[in-house]
Structure 1
Amino acid sequence: MEFTTEPFDLEEAPAHALAAREVIETAALDAVDVGPFGNTAEGGAERVLVAVDALLRRSLEAGATRISLQVNVLGDEGGHGDGGGHGDGGGLSDGGGEGDR
């Protein structure tokens, strides 16, 4: 998954960005990368969905006015997805671009 929160503040990280960072860094996810203009994380479907729920709720509660989120589903090594997104198989990952939700 890849996400950004707005509004931006070039002087210091706003409360909503800090809340999002805390959620993503404490979630049970793999390959977490937090940056000033975008954040990415990978993990199994259920873990990513739980993190996205917390991320949206906490960021909005902390003052975010816009959250751009993109979630990509990656298949397993055999080229197959996880059959409907249940459990921790079939990982979700970052993938370039942003979606508006």
Structure 2
Amino acid sequence: MRMRLEFTTEPFDLAEPPAHALTAREVLRDAESGGALAAVEVGPFGNTAEGERDAVVAAVGELLRRTTEAGATRISLQVSVVDGAER
């Protein structure tokens, strides 16, 4: 089953990316370079990635741990099944 992850971290800082935003990018890029996630897009107002269910679930766990340690006070996320949904 393939899933798509979309998320943002807060608080926002338009002057420069806060530590939690940089950490979130690092988590995604590490997972992408390891082959676990694909279609990774990072931006100032949201981030997305796709992967197999277990990879996305692992990335969410890592994301929550590391971004809160880096100062995030809110992480808004959405996970959608993009194909292979069990019926």
TM-score band (shorter)? 0.7 to 0.9
> Unaligned 5+ residue runs, structure 2?
none
Query: Structure 1 segments of 4 or more deviating over 6 A?
Result: none
Structure having the higher Rg:
1
> Does residue 43 in structure 1 map to residue 51 in structure 2?
yes
Give the Cα separation in 1 of the matches to 2:19 and 2:77: 18
Q: Would you say how many aligned residue pairs link Structure 1 and Structure 2?
A: 79
Q: Which has the higher contact order (CA 8 A, sep 6+)?
A: 2
Higher percent of residues as strand: 2
**Alpha-carbon separation, structure 2, partners of 1:82 and 1:47:** 17
Q: CA deviation at 1:73?
A: 1.1
Counterpart of 1:75 in structure 2 is 83
Please report the RMSD computed on the Cα atoms of aligned residues, expressed in angstroms.
1.1
Shift of 1:58: 0.3
1:53 aligned residue (56, 61, 72): 61
Structure 1: any 5+ residue segments left out of the alignment?
84-101
Match of 2:10 in 1: 6
